[in-house]
Amino acid sequence: MSFDIEQIRRDFPILHQKIYNRRLIYFDNAATTQRPQQVIDALNRTYIEYYGNIHRAAHFLADKATEAYEETREKVRGLINAPAREQVIFTKGTTESINLAAFSYGEAFVGEGDEIIVSEMEHHSNIVPWQLMAGRKGAKIVMLPIDDDGRLKIELLDSLINEHTRLITCAHVSNVLGTINPVKKIAETAHAHGIHIFVDGAQAAPHLKIDVQDMNVDFYAFSAHKMYGPNGVGVLYGKRELLEQMPPYQGGGEMISEVRFAGTTYNELPYKFEAGTPNISGVIAFGAAIDYLGSVGIENIANQEKTLLAYATKRLMEIPGIKIYGTQPEKSGVISFNVEGIHPFDLGTMLDKMGIAVRTGHHCADPLMQHFNIPGTVRASFAFYNTPEEIDLFIDALKKVIALF
């Protein structure tokens, strides 16, 4: 499959505009990516051609919408190599997927005195739902630390796991450090001790080939908006035998089988976990995003992003006083850095005025900021539609900003 960067950039209309009269350079892809015309068209088509509420009414529009919605479920199944479509649950995003899993898993499997291991590099979304669950259940959160290169100290796992441990959770890819964690290996360790593993795949699914069966993870979560799809759509994958034992997260329409005031029975998977009217058009358009990713090719995407990461790292190292956080080799296209003597927020604001979108702050990873003893970083995160030329412009702008201070 050939990789035509000019054509790819033409597919993304939002990239071709001026910001403050400067060419837009969008390096905030870890926060959210932009959408190609194909996804925008798919979203519009649902409203123009076949919008109706799914799974319920017996009429043409509802049937067509249901079919398209369920088609996306099958596309997601294929994308992550899930064994069955019933194991793909639609949510509104990674955050909701984690809250769902933490609540329902906690109800089914966690009791007083149990322990959950959470890595130090997690996004708040993969810390707080487990803390809430632990609070309800009288369980304890145990931290799996990182080293100063941003590598998880998985050699400590054996000593952290004991007879109270129920689950370990970590990101597949860190949204701050870019570290790609060896989740297959962590899953092996977890299963050797009879515990489960939940993986936050928000920063991995847009960039890597995901195979939930090969990694043998028990749960995997991600968001469509970081994958060139609509916002308000996410996925929770789970092993069937676990999902079947877990109670519903929310009550409402669709998730029931029969409702009586004497008691309610629940629908089968995946509907048991999909209460209420979902983001119908968003899920359908996510199908178009998966098609788009397939047409570019995940290997091409990974290669382009690897080239961008290597080039940007090399060019950033030219800058005196720069410190990059996340320096171990297994890394995705995210660079967090600080420049000595300049607050990250000031750098970000000045870069914005030069047309360059980066993220500054704690990146919803306070414990990680505490590890490095910093208030925040500047984060540049790449997508396959970015180019080395944009990196050159970014470095020039950064040098100008630093000279001003």
With CB under 6 A as the contact rule, the residue among 33, 87, 95, 304 that binds ligand PMP is 95
**Catalytic position from the list 31, 364, 369, 395:** 364
Tell me: does residue 99 bind ligand PMP (CB under 6 A).
no
Q: Total binding residues for ligand PMP by CB under 6 A?
A: 14
| Residues 101, 221 contacting (CB under 8 angstroms) | yes
Contacting range for ligand PMP; rule: CB under 6 A; set: 39-47, 118-126, 184-192, 286-294: 118-126
* 144-167 residues labelled b (16+ CB within 10 A) or e (exposed): bebeeebbbebeebeebbeebbbb
- Please identify which residue in the block is written with the tokens 């993870």: 217
Which of 203, 386 has the CB closer to ligand PMP? 203
| 261-282 b/e (C-beta count within 10 Å ≥ 16 → b) | eeeeebbebbbbbbbeebbbbb
Candidates 65-73, 92-100, 312-320, 367-375: pick the segment binding ligand PMP (CB under 6 A): 92-100
Question: Any idea what the Cα angle at residue 312 is, between residues 309 and 317, rounded to 5°?
Answer: 125
Q: Please name the residue that has the structure tokens 């795949």.
A: 201
Helix (H) or strand (E) holding 281: helix 280-296
Nearest to 16 by CA among 30, 37, 32, 2: 37
HSE-up (13 A, CA, CB side) for residue 64? 11
Q: Which is nearer to ligand PMP, 166 or 225 (CB)?
A: 225
User: Of these, 11, 33, 93, 183, which contacts ligand PMP (CB under 6 A)?
Assistant: 93
200 touches ligand PMP (CB under 6 A) = yes
223 near ligand PMP, judged by CB under 6 A? yes
Q: Which is nearer to ligand PMP, 8 or 285 (CB)?
A: 285
The total number of residues shown for the chain amounts to: 405
Per CB under 6 A, 175 contacts ligand PMP: yes
- State yes or no: is 364 an active-site residue: yes
Segment contacting ligand PMP (CB under 6 A): 4-12, 90-98, 158-166, 294-302?
90-98
Least separation in angstroms between residue 294's CB and ligand PMP is 21
Residues that bind ligand PMP (CB under 6 A): 31, 93-95, 123, 125-126, 171, 175, 200, 202-203, 223, 225
